[in-house]
Structure 1
Amino acid sequence: MTNLLELYVKLGGLVLVGFILGRKLPVTVPTRLGQFLFWVGVPISIVSFLRQSSLSGQIWIAPAIAYLAILLGAFLAWLGIKAQAYFRKTVPQQSTQASLILAATLGNTGYLGFPITLAILGKEYFAWALFYDLLGSFPGTYGLGVLLAARFGGDVQNHWQTARAILINPALWSFGFGLLVQKATIPTVVEFCLEKLAWISVALSLVLIGMRLGLLKSWRSLPQAGMSLGIKMLLVPLILGSILPLFGLTGSTAKVILLQMAMPPAFGTLVIAETFNLDRDLAVTALAAGVIVLLVTLPIWLWLF
């Protein structure tokens, strides 16, 4: 409990700083900070933490479970939409259906999942979270997520831009580079600087989350968002977390996977919603409410598992 409270103080403090700054600074600041983290901060963090992580033989199962979680979330969201249509005799608009499914499937395993994993389990198990995100959540977001959005949103003009964004993503390139140099010997001063820059980037990512939350103002879609959050942050982690031992995952490795599955909806859902003209209000509400819900669900998962 002491460690959890310390985690909340650190994470919550940085997010709160970002929340305050987001309301005081120009709206261009979060954009610039996000660009810096995307092109510089996150790639450096990946290389640094990957050098300090343990790559076991089972680690490749992490992205497979990520895809399983995405598909299960999408299926449960589809069932929820059908149940709503049956009992309430109303069918949400297609744009709303797409946002509901996206919020129930795509998790914030990068900007939020990485810091929480590092804080709770340390750098030794960071590679599990990294594989889950870069080989699972990220392709799921900009692959399956975009296909779903194009299907429901009717906008098919951005497929090449999306494919290009995936190919030039510096996080994926730094992931490959980090694997190549994981065991390489580098000067101590370079290793030291890499680690300090990595932790600074982790802190800045939490500040960025606070900044973006400070700009979110819509809560009118909370009832609809509640269904997606219930699926994403409760049902999927409970169902898949219970069967992780069947995949040979126990102890800290299982906890890493569980934490990634239990993360709130990704900021990528809002990006996709804006790009494909989906239900933006629902995406915004799910993002904001999900971060708040995490404060309650995180200790529950750590206690149950």
Structure 2
Amino acid sequence: MTNFIVIFTCLIAGNLCKKVRHFPSATPQVLNSFVVYLSLPALVFAQLPKLLVTMDFSGNWWMPVSMAWMAFAFSYLVFGFAGKQFGWKDSTTGALILTAGLGNTSFVGFPLLEALIGPHALPIGILADQPGSFLALATIGIFVAALYSGAKITPQFIARRILFFPPFIALLLSGFWYLLFGINHPHSLDPIMPAFEKVAATLVPLAVFSVGYQLHVDLAVFKRRWFPLMVGLGFRLLVLPAFFAFFYIKVLGGSDLITQVTVLESAMATMITAAVVANEFNLDNELTNLMVGVGIPISLITVPLWNYFLGF
């Protein structure tokens, strides 16, 4: 309950504070930079080594990593077909592929995982986010954005997006640490872990405050664009988690913590960075902003409901 109070308080406070003149318009950019350059890397350093030390590599660790890639491929097929059926412009189709296909597995995902399950879910969430959602966006996501916008990109551009992203650098460094020291000395980072954990603790309030600050829904635009928005949100918040719950639980028989985290991460609202990329490539800015502005508040209700109905 405490975590949910923090989430809703910071979300509401962020939305209210954008009307206060002491908060400049660049507040979300500053907070996002802090989260990306400090909070998220600290979380990776604090949580991933623990996961690597205890992980059973013969088990189903691949679930959270594969989920984002499968979701994006599913989105590409569904909205590629829907775009032709409904006569949507390429910019609308491309926007929906990105914003409905990639979930907010970190900024919203981590706070909700911690609230619903606990901090022990975060290492698995990192697997869903970094080699999952982030890497999918930075590779095939950018390729699809360029394809539907008519822009041209180079392999060097994609490589820079990946290799200079601070949480991904932290992921690589954590992996190298595990290979060099962690196998034989699993507690070698223990003396500095409290420092990482304190910086990582800033992620939830700052990320949620930033999301709240940026939330905005234009009713006139909503009335005009409600149909593609409902299709996109229905796919993101209902179809994807239903598909992964059926596939991972019913078909593969998963019932452990990894399965729970993976299904919940698949139910998260639109990844803010995916919307940013879509806007960078001029892919229906109105719709991408609605997918974020409407989807995130709704997901604060639907994700706990998924957790409840799935019986985790």
| TM-score band, normalised by shorter chain | 0.7 to 0.9
After superposition, the Cα gap between the structure-2 partners of 1:148 and 1:187, relative to the gap in structure 1 and judged at 3 Å, is closer
Question: Paired residue for 2:297, among 288, 292, 296?
Answer: 292
Match of 2:209 in 1: 207
Shift of 1:130: 0.9
Q: Which of these residues, 106, 112, 119, is aligned with residue 116 of structure 1?
A: 112
Q: Give 2:169's match in structure 1, choosing from 146, 164, 173.
A: 173
1:121-162 Cα offsets, whole Å, 9 max, x none, are: 223232221111111111211211111111110121576434
The residue that corresponds to 1:87 in the other structure is: none
TM score, norm. by length of structure 2: 0.86
1:264 to 265, 269, 283: 269
**Which of 19, 41, 44 matches 1:43?**
41
Contact 2:39/2:201 (8 A) holds in 1: no
The letter for the 2-side match of 1:204 is L
Q: Tell me, what secondary structure is at the counterpart of 2:61?
A: helix
What is the SS of the residue equivalent to 1:155?
Answer: coil
Cα separation, partners in 2 of 1:23 and 1:154, compared to 1, 3 Å? farther
Counterpart position of 2:248: 244
Q: Distance in 2 between matches of 1:7 and 1:286?
A: 25
Deviation at 1:266, TM superposition (A): 0.8
CA contact (8 A) 2:27 2:210 kept: no
Tell me if structure 2 keeps the 8 A contact 1:41–1:201: yes
- After the TM superposition, which of the residue ranges 24-33 and 261-270 deviates more from structure 2? 24-33
1:21-51 Cα offsets, whole Å, 9 max, x none, are 2333221121111112111121011111224
Match of 2:237 in 1: 233
Residue type of the partner of 2:308? W
Is the CA contact (8 Å cut-off) linking 1:107 and 1:260 kept in structure 2? yes
**Contact 2:75 2:101 (C-alpha < 8 Å) held by counterparts:** yes
Give the aligned partner of residue 34 of structure 1. 32
| 2:104 counterpart letter in structure 1 | N
The DSSP-based 3-state class of the residue aligned with 1:111 is coil
Partner of 1:73: 75
Let me know the Cα RMSD of the aligned residues.
Answer: 2.1
- Give the CA deviation at 1:80: 2.7
Please tell me whether the aligned partners of residues 104 and 229 of structure 1 are also in contact (alpha carbons under 8 angstroms): yes
Residues 295 and 34 of structure 1: is their aligned pair in 2 closer, same or farther, counting only changes over 3 Å? closer
- How far apart, CA to CA, are the structure 1 residues paired with 2:153 and 2:304? 43
Rounded Cα–Cα distance in structure 1 between residues aligned with 2:233 and 2:298: 8
2:188 partner letter: T
Q: Is residue 2:133 matched to residue 1:137? A: yes
Contact 2:279 2:288 in 1 (8 A): no
- Alpha-carbon distance, 1:294 to partner: 0.9
Larger CA deviation: 194-203 vs 54-63: 54-63
In the alignment, structure 2 segments of 5+ residues that lack a partner are none
Q: How many residues align?
A: 293
Change (3 A) 1:17 1:170: same
CA–CA separation in structure 2 for the residues paired with 1:300 and 1:16? 21
Q: Percent identity between the aligned chains?
A: 23
Letter in 2 for 1:193: A
Q: What secondary structure is seen at the aligned counterpart in 1 of 2:103?
A: coil
**Letter aligned with residue 56 of structure 1:** D
Question: Is the CA contact (8 Å cut-off) linking 2:83 and 2:90 kept in structure 1?
Answer: no
Q: Which amino acid aligns with 2:15?
A: F
Aligned partners of 1:49 and 1:198 also within 8 Å: no
Please tell me whether the aligned partners of residues 99 and 274 of structure 2 are also in contact (alpha carbons under 8 angstroms).
yes
The runs of at least 4 aligned residues of structure 1 exceeding 6 Å deviation read none
Output one character per residue of 1:72-121: Cα deviation in whole Å (capped at 9) or x when no partner.
Answer: 2222223332342xxxxxx1111111112212201111111111112222
> In structure 1, how many angstroms separate the alpha carbons of the residues matched to 2:79 and 2:55?
34
Provide the rounded CA distance (Å) in 1 between the counterparts of 2:309 and 2:286: 33
* Contact 2:116 2:304 (C-alpha < 8 Å) held by counterparts: no
Contact persistence 1:18–1:210 (CA under 8 A): yes
- TM-score for the superposition, normalised by structure 1: 0.88
SS in 2 for 1:81: helix
2:64–2:258 CA contact under 8 A, matched in 1: no
Whether the 8 Å CA contact 2:109–2:125 is kept in 1: the answer is: yes
- Report the AA paired with residue 121 of structure 1: I
Report what 2:188 is aligned to.
Answer: 185
Q: Take 1:137 and 1:161, find their aligned partners in 2: how far apart are those partners? A: 18
